[in-house]
Structures are given as structure tokens and as C-alpha cells.
């Protein structure tokens, strides 16, 4: 509640003598009651005491102070008061930041909320809003205006409020206007009779933070000509035309803010033949360096550096140099420090790692030219048969090769991961066994965040995917039937609205209609339920419900709009469900197998709208806007400070005050537990999950009875092998926590290496 009297004073001057400079440049006596009102509003409903905030402000008032300075000082005071014991001050700072935005907008354009049609007209005229918003009549925009609830702006903590305003909002735009415009545009492809109803559903889900739109959708949907897809994967063929076409496509993707995956496994190895001349090829590294420089040069419209993950199969002869291309030693002309390396790993390699057997590295060009085997396209048993043929020809037909102990190669990978966090690992056979479109091709690797992937064909089809995420912090199981339908419908509409950045991505959209409904805030949902990450049955049940209702939603859309173009012959068309599983699997593993059997029959009859439906992204930044923990991983820490450009920002999960002890901290969690949870969730997610592993190298963390004992390399090795054995599809970053003076303290943030 707002306090009727507060002891706010100036240190050396009576407040009546202090002149404040308002935002429009005019001067007026400082009105303490206005400050008191704002402070009371910012603290209302929290455990923060407004008297403490005003006491901190008194030392900062002076004659000639600007109202902007007062507001910034209030924010800084709030951040200084924030602590593990009083975490609600981060919400006070967030509200004050939003208040600042409201006042700046009022001064700039003359009004805040209340005239949405005027906002639309101004922004369309300024070429800031896509003119497709004008498909709605002025009367419909007035109706839409009535849905806006300005109070929802006050729900953000400081980190979320700053990210929202700095990264996503346009000039002179308020949060609810951005969300409403996105909702209206997402519904604009619906039939006229129902589009306003759909738009209101979309807006409520977005504004109440039940569904989070991926960054490209939230940032680009409102502006003319924006690409809305988050993830792209392309592949280079072994010729100059394909290589330079891929570089151009990478630039186009980066320009529009997408993350890029590029597979280079088809490129001939170092010392291979070029135009019949032996020892002429420079291998994959020079082309990767060009991708590296493209990512730097085309910096996502100035928002952030381009992001490219380059994948190569682990049998490629250049793998050793690939692992070393981000080290400081060696020829700097063959280094690429700004790409994100990814190794594509078949089951056969992992089996040889466990058995300590040899592994053979070969040149794909020589293998294809001499044996007629196109090795990059193979996986599973077909790969294993071909690999046996290849190894039988080593030193005979094949002269370019390197044989190395598989365990030693894996140790080299681990060393690089501990030093740099990478390479990512993509388990090729696991991924392709779950591919519903095996009849049309194969999946060469994973995207930048390791959760989204589908068929790729050089110069013909480039994987692209549109993403959103359910905010589990704000949802219950009983919400899933409705919210999953809304999330799937949003993304299917996005495919109609996006401007694909190049022809191969457009062809992929038309053929597969790939989407990815994800999840964030699992740690918050677990804390709300007073469960733990050991509560595997409850977690499995939740994600079974999510997987089921998202699949139902896509089937229902197929009834309404038709199945995706390549449905015939797919695993879906055979009645196989999530992850290309036969319906019998659900009989043994589901809480309710009968409904899965019925869904299988419905899909065989009506088809399914989207070939891939669910994918769980890392959501590191967007989860801050959503006010929840990222993805499905445990919270890094119950309270810590994140270092931003303007200082440290307090970060804490939303229910820290009343459910603190139900938050498992990832910096102390054994990562086998994380692998086990991801494996359980993966059963119900048809694409992938961004699984980041965090190993704490400080003494005693995992061994409370042995304070001097530290994690060993074998523990990390066992965890990575376990990820493959448990049918996880990929390993995203491998991070380590290591500091000589590591101590437990609420204000002590231990940072992740790299």
C-alpha cells in the first residue's frame, strides 16, 4: 500500500526551494508527493519497503535535478537494495524503468496508451509497421485497443524490463502495443469471421506471458519485410558454386537476425585432389574462415554479431584441425574464432569410444570418387556397412586417411569443451531415427542452439524453423489443451507471414512447415509444485501432455488447412508419432495409451500440418523478459548478479521469496541428473532440446563428505557418454565453474567459463 507520509527530505535545501527540470525542458518546484506516489506504486504488492527507497534517494536531490535523473536514481537505489533476503527490489527497479518509458513516450508523442489506431497509422506512415496491419478496419483496431491492460507492463523485473525495451520495442512504442500488433498480424491470415477472436487469444497469451515469441518474431514481425524464422541449417556441396551460394545465404540469414548452421562434411579434405592435381585442396578450414568473417561482417542489423555453427562429421579427415581452429597456437590464417564448432557423431564412433577401439578419418571426395560411397548422406546401419567397406580399403584403394584411437579423440574433444565450451555434439543416428521425413532425405546436423533440425539438401532445401515457448512458470497442466493449440496455430500462421531470406529456405517451409513449440520455466514449475528434478514421473507426465496436445493441434490444423506437402510416405503417415515412434511404444510408456492410438488413426486419416512440432530452445535472454528460468534446466543460482554493459543486474527466479528451497541450483547439481531429466522430456519432444551441461570443478561441491574431492575428467566423460546412451539428441555448451576462492554467498556470483 502507498504510505500516506514518508520522511523524504533534501540534505541541504528545503524541497520547496529545489527546482526540477522536467522532460520537456521546463523548470518547476520539486513535487515530493509525485515521487512518493511513484515509489508507492513501484513497491505496491511486493515485500519492498518504500521508506527504504526514499531514504536512499534523499542524498541525491539537488537544485536543477532533472526528472530523468530522479527516476534513474530511484532505479539505482532499488538495485542497490536488492539482495537474496530482499529480492523483490528487482521488481521495483523494473517498474521504475517502465515508468520512465511511459513518461518518455508521453513527452515524445503526446499520449501513452488509449489510442492504438493512431499508433498504427503513425507507424505505418513512417514505414515502421508492416502495412498488413491495415487489413483490420479502424473499428476493429478500436476493439483491439480495448484489450490492452497497461498494468501488465508492471510485471517485469529490472532485467526483463531493460531487455524488452532495448532489444524488442521500436521507437515510441509501448510493450502492450508491440504485443497487440504481433497478435493482430499473427491472426491476419485467419478467415475474416474469426480473426479478431484469434487475435485476442494470441494477445492474451503473449501479454500474460504464457507464450514467449522467439526473438525474430517479436523483433521482426511488426516491421516490413522481416524474416521470422529463428533457425536455419544449410549444407555446402563440394564445388565452388555451392560454397559461395552458401556464404551468400548465410549473410542473408544473419542480416535478418537468424542463427545459422552450416554442414561442411561434403567438402574434400586437406591434400585431396583438385582438378586432378593431388595435394591441392586446402580442406574445410579456409571455407569455415570465410563463414567466420561473414558472421562478423553481417551483424544482424547491428543488433548483435552474426552467429554460425559449423558442423562436420567426426570421420572427416580434417577433424583434428577442426578441433584446433580456435586455439592460439598454429597458423593464424587457418583459425576461426567466431564460429561455433559442432561435431556430428554416429553410434559406431561412440561404441568404439567405449571399447577403446581405433577410428578412421577419411576424405569424403576420395571415398566417393574411388568407392562410389557418398558418406555424408549415410547414417545408422547403412553408414556402418559402408564404413566397414571403407576401412577394408584403407592403404589399398584409399590413400588419404588417419587412424586414431576413438577414446583418445574423444578426450581431445573433451579438453576443447572444457577450455572453450565447444564443440557441440550432434548424435546423428539418434536424430535421424526420430526423423519423420526419412523418405525425403536426412538430417546432417543441428542448428545453432542444438534443438531444431530437419532435412537439408545443398542448394535445394535449407532447414528453417519458427519458434515460440510455453512459460511453465505461468501454466498448469490443465492449461495445456488450450495453450498448445494457440502456440501451434501461431507458428503455423508465422510460416504464411515470414519473408524467407533465400530460395532454399522458402522451399523447405513449403515442403515441411517445420515449427518448434518449446518450454521455459520448468525449474519454476517444479518449485511451485514443491517437487525436484528427481520427480521424473511428474515431469514426464507434464511433457507427455504438452507433446500430446501440440500434436493434436497440428492434426486439427491439417483437417482445416491440409497436411504438409511431404506427408505422404512420412513416418506420420504410417501412424508413427512423436520421434517416429510406433504406436506400440505409447502402449508401454504412456499414462493414457488409448488416446495416442486414436491420435495415430486420426493422423493417418487427416494428416498433420507440421512435420516437426516441438523443440526446446535455450531461451536465455527471452526467459528474462518472461520472468522465469531458462529452458528446462535447473536455475544456475537462486540469486546472482549478471554483468551487463552498465553494471551488474540482479537475477533470481520468480518464486524465490516463498519457494527458495525448492530451487535446485545448477552450479551444484550433478549433471547426470540433468541428462536424465532431458532424456525423459525428449521422449515427448519430436525435435530436440538445448542441453547445456555445467560442471563445477571446485572441491567438495559434489562430495559433501569429502571436502577436498573434486570432479575428475572421467566424471565428465561418463556424463557425455550417458547423454548418448540415454538417447539425448545433442549436447549444447559444456561449461565449467572454476575459481580458486569459490565460496557460497548470496552476493557471490560464480561465472561460467567462456
The yes-or-no answer on residue 465 being catalytic is no
H-helix or E-strand spanning residue 72: helix 67-81
Q: For the chain, report the end-to-end CA distance as a whole number of angstroms.
A: 44
In contact, 474 and 209? CB cutoff 8 Å: yes
Catalytic residue among 449, 464, 484, 728: 449
Rounded to an integer, what distance in angstroms lies between the CA atom of residue 542 and that of residue 472?
10
Rounded to an integer, what distance in angstroms lies between the CA atom of residue 414 and that of residue 136?
55
Rounded to an integer, what distance in angstroms lies between the CA atom of residue 235 and that of residue 445?
9
In contact, 304 and 404? CB cutoff 8 Å: no
The yes-or-no answer on residue 200 being catalytic is no
Q: Which of 630, 618, 585 is nearest to 688 (CA)?
A: 618
User: How is residue 165 annotated by DSSP?
Assistant: I
Which residues does residue 525 pair with via DSSP β-bridges, in sequence order? none
C-alpha 1 chain-centroid distance = 38
User: How is residue 135 annotated by DSSP?
Assistant: G
SS3 695: strand
Catalytic residue among 145, 447, 471, 474: 447
Which residues does residue 28 pair with via DSSP β-bridges, in sequence order? 20
In contact, 684 and 544? CB cutoff 8 Å: yes
Torsion of CA 179, 638, 166, 170, to 10 degrees: 0
User: How is residue 170 annotated by DSSP?
Assistant: P
The yes-or-no answer on residue 447 being catalytic is yes
Sequence-distant (≥ 6) Cβ neighbours of residue 600 within 8 angstroms: 575, 576, 577, 583
414 by Cβ neighbours in 10 Å (0-12 / 13-18 / 19+) ranks as middle
Catalytic residue among 451, 461, 545, 692: 451
C-alpha cell at 288: 569455415
C-alpha cell at 79: 538495485
Catalytic positions are 447, 449, 451
Amino acid at each position: 500500500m502507498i504510505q500516506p507520509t514518508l520522511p523524504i527530505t533534501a540534505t541541504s535545501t528545503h524541497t520547496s526551494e529545489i527546482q526540477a527540470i522536467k522532460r520537456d525542458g521546463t523548470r518547476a518546484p520539486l513535487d515530493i508527493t509525485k515521487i512518493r506516489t511513484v515509489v508507492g506504486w513501484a513497491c505496491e504488492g511486493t515485500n519492498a519497503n518504500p521508506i527504504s527507497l526514499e531514504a536512499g534517494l534523499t542524498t541525491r536531490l539537488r537544485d536543477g535535478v532533472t526528472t530523468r535523473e530522479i527516476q534513474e536514481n530511484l532505479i539505482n537505489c532499488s538495485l542497490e537494495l536488492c539482495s537474496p533476503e530482499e529480492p523483490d527490489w528487482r521488481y521495483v527497479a523494473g517498474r521504475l524503468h517502465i515508468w520512465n518509458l511511459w513518461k518518455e513516450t508521453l513527452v515524445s508523442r503526446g499520449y501513452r496508451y488509449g489510442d492504438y489506431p493512431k499508433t498504427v497509422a503513425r507507424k505505418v506512415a513512417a514505414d515502421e509497421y508492416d502495412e498488413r496491419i491495415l487489413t483490420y478496419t479502424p473499428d476493429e483496431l478500436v476493439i483491439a485497443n480495448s484489450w490492452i491492460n497497461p498494468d501488465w507492463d508492471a510485471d517485469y523485473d529490472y532485467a526483463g524490463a531493460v531487455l524488452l525495451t532495448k532489444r524488442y520495442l521500436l521507437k515510441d512504442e509501448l510493450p502492450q502495443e508491440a504485443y497487440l500488433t504481433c497478435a493482430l498480424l499473427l491472426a491476419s491470415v485467419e478467415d475474416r469471421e474469426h480473426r479478431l477472436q484469434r487475435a485476442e487469444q494470441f494477445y492474451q497469451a503473449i501479454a500474460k506471458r504464457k507464450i514467449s515469441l522467439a526473438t525474430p518474431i517479436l523483433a521482426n514481425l511488426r516491421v516490413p519485410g522481416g524474416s521470422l524464422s529463428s533457425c536455419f541449417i544449410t549444407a555446402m556441396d563440394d564445388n565452388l558454386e555451392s560454397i559461395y551460394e552458401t556464404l551468400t545465404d548465410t549473410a542473408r540469414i544473419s542480416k535478418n537476425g537468424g542463427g545459422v548452421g552450416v554442414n561442411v562434411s561434403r567438402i574434400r579434405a586437406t591434400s585431396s585432389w583438385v582438378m586432378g592435381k593431388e595435394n591441392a585442396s586446402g580442406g574445410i578450414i579456409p571455407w569455415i574462415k570465410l563463414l567466420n568473417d561473414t558472421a562478423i561482417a553481417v551483424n544482424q542489423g547491428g543488433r548483435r554479431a552474426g552467429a554460425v555453427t559449423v558442423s562436420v562429421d567426426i570421420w572427416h579427415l580434417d577433424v583434428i584441425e577442426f578441433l584446433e581452429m580456435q586455439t592460439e597456437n598454429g597458423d593464424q590464417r587457418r583459425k576461426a574464432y567466431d564460429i561455433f564448432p559442432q561435431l556430428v557423431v554416429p553410434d559406431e564412433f561412440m561404441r568404439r569410444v567405449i571399447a577403446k577401439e581405433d577410428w578412421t578419418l577419411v576424405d569424403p571426395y576420395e571415398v566417393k570418387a574411388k568407392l562410389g560411397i557418398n558418406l555424408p548422406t549415410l547414417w545408422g546401419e547403412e553408414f556402418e556397412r559402408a564404413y566397414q567397406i571403407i576401412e577394408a580399403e584403407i592403404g589399398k584403394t584409399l590413400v588419404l586417411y588417419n587412424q586414431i584411437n576413438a577414446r583418445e579423440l574423444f578426450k581431445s574433444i573433451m579438453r576443447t569443451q572444457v577450455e572453450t565450451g565447444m564443440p557441440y555434439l550432434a548424435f546423428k543416428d539418434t536424430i535421424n531415427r526420430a526423423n519423420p521425413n526419412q523418405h525425403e532425405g536426412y538430417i546432417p546436423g543441428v542448428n545453432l542452439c542444438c534443438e531444431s533440425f530437419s532435412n537439408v539438401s545443398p542448394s535445394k532445401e535449407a532447414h528453417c524453423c519458427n519458434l515460440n515457448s510455453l512459460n511453465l512458470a505461468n501454466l498448469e497442466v490443465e492449461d495445456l489443451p488450450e495453450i498448445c493449440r494457440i502456440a501451434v496455430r501461431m507458428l503455423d500462421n508465422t510460416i504464411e507471414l515470414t519473408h524467407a531470406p533465400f530460395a532454399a529456405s522458402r522451399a523447405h517451409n513449403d515442403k515441411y512447415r517445420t515449427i518448434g513449440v518449446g518450454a521455459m520455466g520448468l525449474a519454476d514449475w517444479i518449485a511451485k509444485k514443491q517437487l525436484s528434478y528427481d520427480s521424473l514421473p511428474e515431469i514426464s507426465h507434464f511433457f507427455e501432455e504438452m507433446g500430446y496436445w501440440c500434436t493434436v493441434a497440428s492434426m486439427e490444423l491439417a483437417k482445416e488447412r491440409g497436411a504438409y506437402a511431404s506427408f505422404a510416405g512420412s513416418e506420420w503417415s504410417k501412424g508413427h508419432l512423436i520421434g517416429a515412434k510406433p504406436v506400440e511404444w505409447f502402449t508401454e510408456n504412456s499414462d493414457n495409451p488409448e488416446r495416442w492410438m486414436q491420435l495415430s488413426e486420426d493422423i493417418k486419416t487427416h494428416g498433420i500440418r507440421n512435420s516437426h512440432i516441438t523443440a526446446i530452445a535455450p531461451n536465455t535472454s527471452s526467459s528474462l523478459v518472461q520472468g522465469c528460468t531458462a529452458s528446462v534446466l535447473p536455475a544456475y543460482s537462486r540469486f546472482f548478479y549478471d554483468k551487463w554493459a552498465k553494471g551488474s543486474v540482479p537475477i533470481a527466479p520468480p518464486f524465490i521469496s516463498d519457494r527458495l528451497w525448492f530451487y535446485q541450483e545448477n552450479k551444484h547439481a550433478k549433471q547426470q541428473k540433468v541428462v536424465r531429466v532431458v532424456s525423459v522430456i525428449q521422449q515427448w519432444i519430436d525435435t530436440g532440446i538445448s542441453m547445456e551441461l555445467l560442471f563445477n570443478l571446485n572441491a567438495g561441491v559434489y562430495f559433501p563428505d569429502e571436502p577436498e574431492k573434486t570432479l575428475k575428467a572421467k566424471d565428465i566423460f561418463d556424463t557425455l557418454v550417458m547423454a548418448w546412451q540415454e538417447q539425448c539428441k545433442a549436447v549444447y555448451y559444456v561449461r565449467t565453474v572454476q575459481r580458486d576462492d569459490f565460496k557460497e554467498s548470496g552476493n557471490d556470483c560464480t561465472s561460467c567459463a567462456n
